[in-house]
Amino acid sequence: MKLKMIATFVLVILCTFITACGSSNIDHDLSTTGFQFRYEVVTNMKENPKNYKNKTIKIKGDLKSNGSAYYYLTETDNVCCTWKLEVKLGNDKMVFPTENKDGIIVVGEFSTYTKNNVEKPYLKITEFV
């Protein structure tokens, strides 16, 4: 089991670098990958944020809001798993859609902030695709 997890992690890292090779301004393009791959990469972003900090990420997911100022990208498969990543707007001219959007693609810069002495990851959206 542990060997499978290590192999999956190595595969995720290698594929992340491969998918980013075709674009000079996108470090990690997760917009065309499958759910399992996005799940693994987002999990790795949360566990190892320093590896992604200041990197440009292109990702597909469902844009949701809790009804206030908190927005996140999320995705659930039909078996067991859900990933969730907080998002913020990159500038004052941008606005979030007025309703939840499924299957939206966004580009943004990965960053973190500290709340209650805990480092929290988020994606600062610079473009809705």
What would the pLDDT profile of 112-123 be if each residue is shown by its tens digit?
999 999 999 999
pLDDT digits (tens, 9 = 90+) for 46-86: 999 999 999 999 999 999 987 767 899 999 998 889 999 99
User: Which residue type is seen at 66?
Assistant: N
Question: Which residues in the chain belong to E strands, given as ranges?
Answer: 28-30, 56-65, 71-76, 82-89, 101-115, 118-128
pLDDT at 18 over 70: no
* Cα 76 to chain centroid, rounded: 13
Question: What are the beta bridge partners of residue 108?
Answer: 57, 125
pLDDT digits (tens, 9 = 90+) for 37-54: 999 999 999 999 999 999
Q: What are the backbone dihedrals phi and psi of residue 31, each rounded to the nearest 5 degrees, phi first?
A: -80, -20
pLDDT at 13 over 80: no
Give CA angle at 12 (7, 16), nearest 5°. 150
